[in-house]
Structures are given as structure tokens and as C-alpha cells.
Structure 1
Amino acid sequence: MQTLLKSTGLIVILLTILGVSAYSKTVSVKSPNGETECVLNVGEKLTYSVLYRGEKVILDGNMGLKIKSGPVLGLNLEVVESAVQEVNETWKPVYNPNETILNHYNELTVDFEELKFPGRKFQVIVRAYNDGVAFRYMVPQGSDRQKCNLENELTTFNFESDVTCWAANYKGFKSHQEGHFNKQPLSGLSPQGYYGLPLTLKVSENCYAAITEAHLDKWAGMYLRTSQHPKELRTVLSNIKNNGVEDRFICTLELPHKSPWRVIMLGEKPGDLIESEMVSNLNPPCKIEETSWIKPGICTWDSWWSRNVNMENDEIKKFIDLAAENEYPYMLIDWQWYGEYNKPEADVTTLAEQLDMPMLISYAKQKNVKLWLWLYWTDVNRNMEEAFNLYESWGIAGVKIDFMALDGYEMVEWYHNTVKLAAQHHLMVNFHGAYKPTGIRRTWPNLMTREGVLGNEYNKFTYNVTPEHNVTLPFTRMLAGPMDYTPGGFVNALKGEFKPQKNTMVMGTRCHELAKFVVFDSPVTTLCDHPENYKNQPGMDFLQKVKAVWDETKVLQGAIGEYIVMARKSGNKWFIAGMTNSDARLLEVDLDFLPDDSYTIDLYKDGEATKLNATKLEKMKLKLHRAEKLKIECAPGGGFVGIISK
């Protein structure tokens, strides 16, 4: 179970005691350190502002909901009661008991009532963290209603100036959410766009922000677009059902009903956003009682990606062997193991005629490797209970479910129901063709990772996975949670030499690829390449040592789309990694994050040979002192990794 380790107690203050009357026009809450603040302005309409270290980040953003058969909920309100409480606790992810996550915030709860007919009640809950602000709506149950239909959410995010942002336009609600986060001014976004979350912004030289959502449940996925005001982002909610048909309503709310959290992450540097745990903290604690079966690790993959692998017993055994040789716990059997997929006759409880699943399961067990299975979502949806029961009897570790490509109300509920049922059958889950994370892995920690990212698979058929893209992802998509990017391509190519081909290349140097295992977050990390491409290759010894989860994370340097340097702790060792875009770069890294003075590092870096052959690297052992700088030359599209020991 996730356990709370410490609680400094609950402090509840009625604001009326402090002189705030029921008819106040302003109610606010500050973070525990006083550096972030959210102010609710109550008048003809309800608005909010967010400040960071006294600087205005959001100014008079609109709040409210449009409910069928009634005026906008959020107009002509009075404050009935307000209260603030402080929560200071820590908890541990079940799959990494060495990591401790701080959840410290001040929470403001405001009860409103409409001054005019129909006199409905309405509640807003605001949490102020040291690293951001979040708020949600609560629609109470009335004496005359137990349900209502949501037509629209009216939340906007208003900025004082034309700030720089990094945004991915998915161009519709039907999307796998796999795109580039392009740098542009806010005014460059389209009023017809479907900009996904997170959306990262540079508010000023000393203030970065990211907008996303947390605890998405019984609601529809959120997108952003500009309005007639070029400095305003407005909320757009998906209205697509699971059958792909648009609904006239966003969803039906069973009352009382809480919306997802609207999250504004804040930091002085872009790396501060990466270190934030707000998205996970805004979700309920673990609901699984016995969790010993939930284990992180690296997973090999008999993918169509590496060499167009055939779905045959002997080929699958090669990937089981790769996992066993490197002491990886998992191997994923990909599509077509049950024959044709995405057809009415597809049956996920049967086998393709050429496969011997009992033999493969036995073979993997002898090698101390557990298997994952790929599933097309509509195929498994027809008989999910039967299938999960069968997989549990086989000893399957987890399921990779693919091609949902929706985040309307029905699909959001499908995600929750699926991961809950999987937990009942001791199955971990990896969602592909998925929407971005919203933190429910805290509640259902068997949800190990998900896609919703333009990852290595696109190297098979596009030129899209550039070094620039790779050093943008940590500051954008990864802020929402783990991403199954599938790193580990060892047919490395310099940018001008890269081309899509059968034996799939990846753009960037070998060290750039190794660095992804430290920089990118995924508690189950899927290794993308073919066993033949790993044989006797430089850097493979690093992949035998790298971890999938970490005890502590430090972002040491970084500029969005340019470079990043991160350090992650595992036990008594630090794994450090850097990546650069297509520019060669000298990285000078301060080592003052190390607690003691003297260390050694096993360093893998680009060398002179790398400039001509991207698969080359230099390996060396160096002495380090925390008062010194680690200076590393990176080739274009390059990087480095190192293991720091006492």
C-alpha cells in the first residue's frame, strides 16, 4: 500500500474569523512558503489570478461551468463560507519504496451561492503548492436534482503579455496525442486548434509555467485554444464517445461531482517543472491492498519496429534471451500473437496458429523473465474479464493496450475500469494510443506507463524524432507523467545521414540514446531494438546497470529544445545524463548536489570518432570532487551518461 509517512496535522481556519465576510469580493490562499498565490475575485462573474513571487502569471482568468437548462454556474455569486487548511504529508510509490514524495499545500475551500434565480450552490477548491496552483469545481446535489448535463467548461488562462509557449496541436479530439511541442508566441496559436496538455510557457526570465490537468475521472479530457483575446487560452473538452460519434453534451454529472484539477505548475527555471510532483499529489492514495506484484523494470520487445520481426516462437525466444542475459524482468509479445486484430472475429483468448504460448511461458519462466501481451483495445473490450482471468492463470505480468485515441467521458471511464479490473487480476498496464497521464497511477499503481508521446517508433517511417524534439519532451509531455517512448535504438545516425529504413535508425549519437534511459521517465521501460543490434555494442554494459525508477531526481541544467542535464539517485549511486540538440555543446556541470566530497564516475561520452560515426563513444573512469565542474563536449545530437560512486 502507499503509506503516509508523516503528517504535521490539519490546520483549519475559518476566514470569517479573520474578518472576511460572506460578501467579500476577494478570497485568496498562499503556498506554505508564501511564494505562490491564487486569488478568487467574486463579482458579476467569478475570476482568478495566480502570482509567483509577486509576479502576475494568470490575470483574471474566467471560471465557471455551463449546465444544461440553466444560466452559467459562476455568475452573480456570493461567498457563503470559506476555509483554509494546511496539509503536510509524505508518501511512497508502491513500486519504489526508496522514493519519498512530499505533498505539502494550503487548501482553500469556498462555498458560493447564486444571488439570482435559480440560487444554486457551487464550490471551488484551490490548492497552493510551493511549485504551483491547482483548482477544481464541485457541483453539489440539490433537493430537486441528482444529475445534470455538462455543456461546457468556461475556464480560461489569461496572460498579461504575449508569452512564449511550447504547444502540440493535435487538430482534433481523435488523436494518439503524438506530436511536436512547437515553440511560438501565444498569439501564434490558432482559435481552431486542439492544443494538448501539458502546455509549457515562459512567462518571464525567472518564471516558467505549465498548464495541465490532474485526477481526470468522470469528466472529459481538456484541450486549449486561443479566443478573440490573443493572450487568453480557453478550455475545450472532448465530446467524442467511444464509438467515435460526437455527443451534444460533454458528460452527465452524477451529483455531487468534482471536476478534474486545473493545474498551473510554476518554477524559476524550466527544470523546476520536471522536479514537481503536483500531478501525482493531486490524485487519491493507492486503492490496491496487496501490491507486491507491481514491480518496475526494463522490458524487451519483439517489435515490428526493429527488423520487421515475424510473430514466431523462435524469434520471440531471442527477445526472452536478451532479457535474461541482461537480467531484465520482462519481455513484451507484440501484435498479432492472437492473429488478426481490430476485427469483429478477433479473440484475445486464442493464439495465432504458429505460436505455442505454453512453451513460451515455460521458456521465459526458466529464464526468470515474465511476459507482457499486446492488445487492441476493442478486441479485449469484448471479453476483458475472461481474458484477464486467462492471462493471470498464465502468469502474465502485464498488458499493453493500444489504439484508443480518444479521451471523451466514456473513454476516461474505460481507462479507470480497465486498470481497476487489471489490478484484480494482478496485471500491470501500459496504455498506448493513449491520452496524456493525469496522475491516476498514484491511485492505481499497476498503471506503470503510457504512450501519448511522439517516440522512437516514428523513426521507422518519418524524420520527426529529432534531437531538438528529444530535448523538448522532458519540459513538456513528461511533466504529466511517465511516457513509453521506447528508447534504445542502437543503429545511431547523425542528422544528415538518418533515413527511415527496415533496420530502423535513430537520430543522434549512441550517448544521446543512452541518456534517454536516465532523462525519460517510465517505470517499465521498453527497449526497442533487436538482439542482433545489441551484440558486443559499446554502451550495452550501461543498459545492464541503468534503472527504471529512481529514489531522487535533480535537474542540473536545461533549456527547452536545446539541452538538458539530469541526475537520478538509485541506492548509493547517482546516474547522470545529458542530451543536446543538433548543436555541438560544451556542458559544464556543477557537482554540488553530491552529499560528500570525493567520488568516481564511469563516464560514457561522445568522442572525436563520434563526429564521423554516431555509434561510437568513449568510456573512461574519472575521479570527481563536488567542488569541481564536470566538463563534457557533446557532438551534434549527442550526449553523455555516467554512474557516480563513492
Structure 2
Amino acid sequence: MKHAFLLAWLLTFGLRAAAQPATALTARLDQVSLTFALNAAGQPTYAVQLGGRPVVLPSRLGVALADGRGFEGALTLLGAETKDVDETWQPVWGEVRSIRNRYQQLTVHLQQPAAPGRRLDVVFRVFADGVGFRYEWPRQPQLQYFTVTDEHTEFNLPADHKAFWIPGDYDSNEYAYTSSRLSEVDTTPIKAIEKKAAPQRVQTPLMLKSADGLYVNIHEAALVNYPAMMLNVDRQTFRLSSQLVPDGTGTGAKAYLQAPEHTPWRTIVVADNAPAILASKLILNLNEPSKLQDTGWIRPQKYVGVWWEMQVGRASWSYADSSNIKLAGTDWTKLKPNGRHGANTQNVKRYIDFAAQHRIPGVLVEGWNVGWEDWVGNWKEDVFDFVTPYPDFNVAELQQYAAAKGVQLIMHHETAGSATNYERRQDAAYRFMQQHGYAAVKTGYVGRIIPRGEHHDGQWMVNHYVRTAQKTADSRLMVNMHEAVRPTGLHRTYPNWLANEAARGNEFNAFAEGSPPEHETILPFTRLMGGPMDYTPGIFKLQGYAAGAPQRQLHSTLAKQLALYVTLYSPLQMAADLPENYNEHLDAFQFIEDVPVDWDDTRILQAEPGDYLTIARQGKGTQEWYLGAITDENARQQTVKLDFLPAGRKYQAVIYADAPGASWDKNPAAYRISRQTVTSRSTLKLPLAPGGGAAVSLKPLAQ
């Protein structure tokens, strides 16, 4: 219900210069409250509290424009109104069957006190677990086309919180997390992956914990037609200030807009316990409902693929050696096979056979198309055409073979960062997919972006990702984007956008030093706050897998790899290892066969960022539950009550746990499987080895 709040919207020119009201504007829901006010300089500010405890102290708001007549200075308050919303909606897929969207909205109308008298609205939504706000420019004669050069959004924190952060790199999110006090944030010692971040610039989602047990997560929602927001950390005052990713012109421009327009939502999720942060649906609720009328063709799924063998050096993406390019030029028919090409017809059939045998719906094939010999580091415009296979990849034969086995192939489109080339060829590429039975595509953006000078996380590429989500939806195709901007809940609006990478995935264990055992306990509190990740779990050969690097190993036990299918949510989960490695542990692989990727209910049972995580989920349309528990480098015993099970019903629990003596570094493949009958009154004691975990399937017994 809408009602006037403090001031009516004043349309008469003579009233626009009215004196500023002395009373602050407030909005509240349960224990979360927001206060808006103009400071002594006339600049808009906001503050957030949880049950009287300060979450964000009075902090500045504002937006600078290229013409020097922006909204970073004094503004006049014209009016405000509030409304209360309480509704429920059902996601196409997700962690729960239905989501409640309950908030109080405060809309504040502001105007420049002097000519040209442009107007700006700030819209706040206060939820029971946090706040979202954004800037909105209404249609007005004084403002039509405009360029944003800076956003003066601040998060003034009350203390030197513990932070879980990665560098605010404009081109990559693939870093291991650092945990430190805000006063200790320094990206200087960290090796850059793409473009070096400023020393005190960090990425969102940023997870924070206060000394007295307050958990705060800062991110953004519904990132469309705008660059991603990084955060600059003031190590003395603990003030975080927004840093937008610049465009490629070198002029300082960040976003090119046309009124009416708005920014993404800036989000603050807050709770007095860690599980409540993970249970929040605030970011999803701030996104628009699905734009797709028909979603029946969207299928969350597990998949295997011709991928890990290239990562560990057993096979190659390319059909020929790169040196052969000098002789063949651009004529791929002159390429001489190197004998190591992984995406060949017979090898792909091997994966199709394994998938069919173990009820895995999809098979991803990377390196099937010409161009891989001439793409890395060349900043080349036209590398791939996305429709021409290598000579040893028989598209028609594999289409028929997969269909006969009840398996669908997943297309791979690596763009080498040349988004312009990809956009020119998307229509033809998606027609090719439809003609040959491909229902999903994995896109990649490795390397420097073309248009040259643009960043992976800038406005141009943000719009490219959204265009790709829409274009794939128009062709009834699902999409999984790698090396893209980190997600902000847009999978609600485009439910065919199943997953992203946008973080340091399991692949780093193959070609780099890997990730520490705590990594997967941090990801749900950071990267996954905005949406699911294609992490590629399920590696069973944990040591001695990398050709030429025998010392390399995963910082994980085998049981933890199983638990990740529950703790790292995604509707698209890969069984990433080689079929032969799974065949050595088919008893453990049974959990991967059984575990769903779509859920009716999710319970965050135990959680602490950087330490441990235990989650239980109910399979979509079933009475089956699955549980995952993981730890960092420390051994733990997690005591788990099963009171989420329906009362009076018996279940068989199959427990995949670390064996005695297991550890990520000394004995990672040691596991044991046990069974017991349980009810809602039962308790499980799960031993977690250093870097370990446990996975549990809970299936109802016949009455």
C-alpha cells in the first residue's frame, strides 16, 4: 500500500527551493532499519542498523556526470513516499521451491538546487535481512543522454571488520581469497591474472565479520547496462567507496546512459549469524521476474566432458601444433595433426558411453572447432567461426550416437576475448547448435577483450553477457558463461543462464598452485551470493594427475569433492574427472549419480566463512535429502541433527566420509562408506579430515 511520507511530490516550480526538512526519513522491516538524510553540505546520506546495532554509519550517496553538472553536490529534497510489498514467487529452478519477497520501499525524490535543476530519485528497499538501493533518473527535459564518470556511493563501516576479499581486478575474479582486517587490505603482493588491481581496491561480493559477531555482505543486484562496482578501502577510517570499471576510451567514462534509467541495486545483507547470510534471497528478489514466457525446455543437469584431460596436459584443445600455423596460414585443411587432440570422435564417444551408463544427461566437448592453434595472447579479432569442426570431429556421427544413448552434447564457444567476432557469428552458431541437437553452450572469454581497451567487467561487456543470455533464450538454448563478470542474480530474469564461472574454480589445481582448503568454505559467502558457479567438482585422482608437474595435488579429500555437489550450489554440475578415474571408485561415484541439481528446500545447518559449512537439501519433487559438510585445513567432527526430515518417517542414510588417517595432503583418497537407518530424531557425527568433508544421501524407506 502506498502512502505519503513526510512530503508530497512538489511539481510547482516555486516550491522546488523550499527549505530542507529537519526530520530524517526512515524505513524499517523487522530488525533492519534505514535512515536517509541530507548532511550539512546538502549531500544525500544513508545509514543502516540491525536491532539498534550500526551496520553502515551515515554514508554518502551521489553520481558524477561528464558535463560537470552531476549529483555529487548539494541536492534539494522534494519529497518521498513508501510502500510495503509482501509476495511469493516460484523460481524456474533453484535452492528452494518458492521465495518470499517482503520489503518496505522508500523512494526519495531529489533535485539540484540550481540550474539545470535535474532530478534524481534514490530508491531503498528494506528487507528483514538487509537493504538494497539504487539511483533512478526519471524522464525529464533537463537530462536525456548523459555519461557517468563516478559513483560516490560509500559504505562507512563502524569498525575494522575481518574481510574475505580478492583484488578488484577489472578483468578477472580468479583469485584465492585473503582474509584480513580492513586495515590490512593490500593487493600489492598478489600476482595479477589480467589487469593489476589498485592496492586497496577489492571485488564484490565482499564478506565482512565484526568482532562482536555481526555478518555483513556487500554486493550488487541486477547488473544491466552499467559497469561492475569495485570497492576502494580506506584502511584508516574503514570507509568503502565505489569504484566503477571504466570503458575503453581512456576519458574516465564509466557508463553511457539515456533517461529514464537506473543503476544496479547496491546490496547489504546483514545477520547476527553466518547461516542467515547464505539463506538470504535479497539479491534474487531485487532482480526482475523472468523475461521468458516458456521455460519448460530449461533443464538443470549434470555433465561430464572432454576438458580435464586438457587441463592436466594429457590432451590438447588444438588439432595441430601452433608452429604449424606458419606453414598452414589460415588454411586449416593444411594443419598436421599433433596426435594429442582430445575432441576427436572416438574419445567423445567414450565420454558419451560413460554418461549413458551413469545417468549423466550431458557431455561437454572443448576444442572441437578450428582456430585453437592461433588464439592465445594474439589479441586477434577473427579466431573462431563456431561452425567449422576439426577433421577428426564428426558432428553428424556424434549427434546420432549421443541421441541413441539418451545423452545431449554441450557446445563450447571460446571467444578468445573477441566479443565483437562472437556477436557477428552468434546467429549462425546457434542455428548450427539447433541443427545438430545441442541444447546448451559454454562460452569463454579468455584474454584481452575486443573491442580493444574494454574490460571484462565494464559496461560494454556487461551488456554483451545480457545480450548473449537473451539471444540464447530466443534460440531455446541454455548458457554457462566463463570468464564473465560475477553474477548479480540475473538468472531470475534469464533462467536459461544456468551458471557462470567468475571465480577461481577447480581447474586451478591442474595448472597452478591450486586453492587452499578454506577456499570452498569462503565461496558461498562471496562469489555464490550473486548466483551459481560452474566450479567443476568431482576430481577423484587427487595426486599425480598433472603431466610435467608430479608435485601438484588438490587441496581436498575425495569425500570433500563429493560434498561440494551440495555445498556449492549450481543447477549445472560437472563430474569433472576422467572416466577411468571414476571407474576405480564407482562406489563413491554413486553419490554423484544420485545427487540432484535442483531443489525444493535448503537448510544451512552450520557455517562459518573460511572454516566450515554444512548444508542439507531436498531434491526437487522428491522426499530425498542430501547433505554436504566441508572444512578448511583443520580436522573437525560435525554433529548434525536430522530434524529437517519429516517426523515419523524412516530413512536410509548412506554416508561417504573421510576414512581414519585421511588428509588432503598425505592421504586424500581414503574414504569409507557406511549405512544406517535414521529418523528426524537422529544425529549424525561426521568426521572431517584436514581439507576434508562428508556427503550423505537420505532416502525414505518403504513404510
TM-score relative to the length of structure 2: 0.85
- For 2:242 and 2:368, how far apart are their aligned partners in 1? 39
Q: Do 1:372 and 1:398's aligned partners in 2 also have CA atoms closer than 8 Å?
A: yes
Displacement of 1:259 in angstroms is 0.4
d(CA) in 1 for partners of 2:72, 2:282: 26
Give the match for residue 42 of structure 1.
Answer: 38
Per the alignment, residue 93 of structure 1 pairs with: 91
Give 3-state SS (helix, strand or coil) of 1:145's partner.
coil
- Post-superposition shift, 1:123? 0.3
2:332 is matched with: none
Counterpart-to-counterpart distance in 2, 1:302 and 1:592: 41
Give the residue type in structure 1 aligned to 2:243. V
Partner of 1:188: 184
Q: Contact 1:335–1:375 at 8 Å: present in 2 too?
A: no
AA aligned to 2:695 is V
Q: 2-side partners of 1:80 and 1:91: how far apart?
A: 34
Give the counterpart of 1:52 among 50, 60, 64: 50
Counterparts of 1:342-361 in structure 2, within 5 Å, are 342=375, 343=380, 344-361=382-399
SS at match of 1:419: helix
What is the aligned partner in structure 2 of residue 551 from structure 1? 600
Measure how far apart 1:358 and its partner are: 0.7
Once residues 615 and 28 of structure 2 are traced to their aligned partners in structure 1, the CA distance between those partners, rounded to angstroms, is: 27
Change (3 A) 1:393 1:134: same
Q: 1:31 to 1:550 in 2, by over 3 A?
A: farther
Q: Does 1:409 align with 2:459?
A: yes
**How many Å separate the matches in 2 of 1:219 and 1:254?**
12
Aligned residue in 2 for 1:6: none
Give the equivalent residue in structure 1 for 2:3: 13
Is 2:431 the counterpart of 1:389?
Answer: yes
Gaps of 5+ in 1: 1-10
The SS at the match of 2:201 is: coil
Q: How many angstroms apart in 2 are the aligned matches of 1:618 and 1:228?
A: 47
Alignment of 1:96-245 (within 5 A): 99-170=97-168, 172-175=169-172, 177-190=173-186, 192-227=199-234, 229-241=236-248
After superposition, give the CA deviation of every residue in 1:334-353 in whole Å (9 maximum; x if it has no partner).
Answer: 13433436452532111111
Equivalent residue, structure 1, for 2:698: 644
Distance 2:277 2:548 in 1: 33
Instruction: Name 1:380's counterpart in structure 2.
Output: 422
- Using the alignment, how far apart are the partners of 1:97 and 1:580 within structure 2? 22
In structure 2, what residue type is equivalent to 1:462?
A
Sort the Cα spacing of 1:500 and 1:487 in 2 relative to 1 into closer, same or farther, 3 A.
farther
- Say if 1:609 and 1:617, in contact at 8 Å, map to a contact too: no
> Which residue identity is paired with 1:209?
V
CA distance in 2 between partners of 1:357 and 1:451 (Å): 27
- Cα distance in 2 between the residues matched to 1:357 and 1:499: 29
Deviation digits for residues 434-465 of structure 1 (CA, Å, limit 9, x no counterpart): 22101111111110000011111001122232
Query: How far off is 1:597 after superposition?
Result: 4.8
Per-residue displacement from partner, 1:377-411 (whole Å, max 9, x unpaired)? 32533311111122122221111111266111110
Distance 1:181 1:595, change over 3 A: same
Partner of 1:462: 512
> Could you tell me which amino acid in structure 2 is paired with residue 173 of structure 1?
Y
Cα distance in 2, alignment partners of residues 206 and 328 from structure 1 = 42
Cα distance per residue 1:200-251 (max 9 Å; x no partner):
001343320110011111111110112375311111001134xxx6453111
Which deviates more from structure 2 when the two are superposed, residues 420-429 or residues 35-44? 35-44
Corresponding residue of 1:603: 655
Q: Deviations over 1:517-570 (max 9, x none)?
A: 000011111221111110040311111100112111111112211111111111
Report SS of the residue matched to 1:610.
coil
1:493 Cα deviation from its structure 2 partner: 4.8
Deviation track 1:565-584 (CA, whole Å, cap 9, x = no partner) reads 11111121111110111111
The answer as to 2:672 corresponding to 1:618 is yes
Higher alpha-carbon deviation: 634-643 or 441-450: 634-643
The structure with more strand, counted as a fraction of residues: 1
Question: What are the residue-to-residue correspondences of 1:133-532 with 2, within 5 Å?
Answer: 133-170=131-168, 172-175=169-172, 177-190=173-186, 192-227=199-234, 229-241=236-248, 246-303=250-307, 304-305=310-311, 308-309=314-315, 310-340=342-372, 342=375, 343=380, 344-377=382-415, 378=418, 379-403=421-445, 406-493=456-543, 501=549, 505-532=553-580
For 1:589, the aligned partner's letter is V
**Which amino acid in 2 is paired with 1:372?**
I
Cα shift at 1:499: 10
What is the identity percentage for the equivalent residue pairs of Structure 1 and Structure 2?
29
User: Distance in 1 between the 2:543 and 2:633 partners?
Assistant: 12
Q: Which amino acid aligns with 2:645?
A: L
Instruction: Give 1:500 shift.
Output: 8.0
* 2:444–2:482 contact (8 Å) kept in structure 1: yes
Bigger drift between 499-508 and 430-439 goes to 499-508
Whole-angstrom CA distance in 1 between matches of 2:502 and 2:406 = 30
2:555 is aligned with what amino acid? M
Aligned-residue CA RMSD (Å): 2.5
Deviations 1:474-511 (CA, angstroms, capped at 9, x unpaired): 222111210111001001359xx999848984222111
CA distance in 1, matches of 2:73, 2:23: 15
Q: Structure 1 residue 323: deviation in Å? A: 1.5
Aligned length: 628
> Against the structure 1 CA distance between its residues 397 and 500, is the aligned structure 2 distance closer, same or farther, given a 3 Å change threshold?
farther
Could you tell me how far apart the structure 2 residues matched to 1:643 and 1:52 are? Answer: 37
Q: Which runs of 5+ in 2 are unaligned?
A: 11-17, 187-197, 316-341, 447-454
Using a 3 Å threshold, how does the CA distance of structure 1 residues 453 and 499 change in structure 2: closer, same or farther? farther
In the alignment, what sits opposite 2:193? none
**Is the 1:331–1:370 contact (alpha carbons within 8 Å) kept by the matching residues of 2?**
yes
Q: How far off its partner does 1:75 sit? A: 3.0
Offset at residue 24 of structure 1 (A): 2.6
Is residue 308–residue 502 contact of structure 1 (8 Å, CA) maintained in 2?
A: no
Aligned residues of 2:555 and 2:691 also touching (Cα < 8 A) = yes
Alpha-carbon contact 2:7-2:79 (below 8 Å) kept = no
Aligned partners of 2:313, 2:304: CA distance in 1, in Å?
14
Distance in 1 between residues matched to 2:38 and 2:439, nearest whole Å: 52
> Please, what TM-score do these two structures have when normalized by structure 1?
0.92
Q: Could you tell me whether the CA contact under 8 Å between 2:185 and 2:235 is conserved in 1?
A: no
Give the Cα separation in 2 of the matches to 1:337 and 1:428. Answer: 20
Q: Is the 8 A contact 2:7 2:78 kept in 1?
A: no
Q: How does 1:62-101 map to 2 (within 5 A)?
A: 62-95=60-93, 99-101=97-99
Amino acid at match of 1:238: V
How many Å separate the matches in 1 of 2:533 and 2:222? 17
> 1:573-592 maps to which residues of 2 (within 5 A)?
573-592=624-643
> Please, which moves more after superposition, 460-469 or 595-604?
595-604
Measure the CA separation in 2 of the matches of 1:478 and 1:97.
12
- Check the 8 A contact 1:24/1:42 in 2, yes or no: no
Contact 1:307/1:502 (<8 A) preserved: no
User: More displaced, 131-140 or 402-411?
Assistant: 402-411
CA separation of 1:516/1:220 partners in 2, compared to 1, >3 Å: closer, same or farther?
Answer: same
